[in-house]
Each structure stands twice: as structure tokens, then as C-alpha cells.
Amino acid sequence: MFHKEGGKIIAIATSLTVIIFLLSHKFVADIFWLEKGIQVVTLFFLIMILQFFRNPKRTVEINDHHIIAPVDGKVVVIEEVFEEEYFKDKRLQVSIFMSPINVHVTRYAASGKIKFSKYHPGKYLVAWHPKASTENERTTVVIETKEFGEILYRQIAGALARRIVNYAEEGQQVVQGEDAGFIKFGSRVDIYLPLGTKINVHLNDKAVGGKTIVATK
């Protein structure tokens, strides 16, 4: 199953693959190693695109006392920080880095009402750069939850990412685990939680979007 954001790219990539296969067979069929080399490389890139846009079906156990991982990836930050855009006070930040081979679907970490949703154009620093959270292209979304109050998550573009898709709209009621967007070709998501929240993950843990419990009340 593939994410709808990949539909156009997958169609183009598949068409190009077929064209390259036909052209290589027509023009370099007499050079076996070259024909097969071109076809193997082309097929490799098609497979990479397909795996990047995969959207595995996951059953989410909705729980208002849990904050779940919004994306697949590795936990790279757990620290107390000053969140300057919306809260303007100290929060617990948990960041999950996505490599190009991870699933890049963003899911809602909790159920609630969207209080704030804003897109910021910006740079394309590597996702683990300390200034990526404030200088890279990004979206900021705040959900008002039943048990945690307001929580914030931020989709951040990386060096390869060139488009962030965000479905959250202010005033919208959202359900934990539902599709919240997509980051094309890489990056990370930051979650900002109230101080005192119990964090259930550790640095370098592998998170699974919609499954891993990041924090509990």
C-alpha cells in the first residue's frame, strides 16, 4: 500500500523505468552487460521510490493517556527546551529522525482539537543540525488534548526533503494515529510536551509510528 502523496511520482518513475528498459533493449542489446546494468540501476531507483512512499496499515490502540510516535525513525533528542514559537516557555522535546528508508507518513500523536497550524519556509540543513528546528522549512501544529493539555509537533525538512505535507487545520478534531501528513524525502519530527510528562523512550530507540508509546500521563 502506498501513500497518496506518492501517486504522481510513482506513476512518473514507473513510466520512465519502462521507457528506459525499452530504449536500452533497442540501442544496447548487443552489449549485454551495459543493457543489464542500465536496467538494474533503473529498477533499483524505482524500488527506492516505492519503498519510500509505502504506507503500511497499522492498527492503533487509541489511549488518551498515551502520546504515540508520529513517525518511524530513531529517537535523537530528549531534553528540556524553551519553545519560542507558540508556548514561549519550557517544554520536554522528543525528536525522531527519519532516514530515507523509513516510512515517512506523519500520524497524529494524540486525539484532540487542532489549535494552531502554521507552515514556515526555510533552509534545508541536515535534520540533526541544532538549528534545523528553527531555520529549516517546517510546519508547527498544536493539538489540545484531554489529558496532556496542549502538545505541539513540528515536521522539519532535511537536506533531501523538499516538500512537507500537513493535513492539520485549525479547529479540526483529529484522532490519534490518523494520517496527519507526509515529509517527502527525509527528515524529522519534534514533539513538545508539558514538563513532568513521563517519557517512555530513550535516546537511539527505534520508534514505530502509530505504535511506540513516547510518553504517558
- Burial zone of 179 (CB within 10 Å; 0-12 exposed, 13-18 middle, 19+ buried): middle
The confidence score (pLDDT) of residue 129 equals 58
Q: Highest mean pLDDT: which of 51-55, 82-86, 126-130?
A: 82-86
Could you confirm whether 187 is annotated as catalytic?
A: yes
What does pTM read for this prediction?
0.82
pLDDT tens digits, 79-110:
999 999 999 999 999 999 988 788 888 999 99
Q: How many angstroms separate the CA atoms of 70 and 155, rounded?
A: 10
Q: Highest mean pLDDT: which of 2-11, 120-129, 151-160, 193-202?
A: 193-202
Describe the crossing of helices 32-52 and 7-27 by its angle, rounded to 10 degrees.
180
Q: How many angstroms separate the CA atoms of 7 and 151, rounded?
A: 31
The confidence score (pLDDT) of residue 160 equals 60
pLDDT-wise least confident of 138-142, 158-162, 180-184: 158-162
- Select which of 24, 111, 133, 187 is catalytic: 187
CB 217 within 8 A of CB 151: no
Q: Which residues contact 166 (CB under 8 A, 6 or more apart)?
A: 106, 117, 119, 139, 141, 155, 180, 181
Q: Highest mean pLDDT: which of 3-12, 48-57, 98-107, 171-180?
A: 171-180
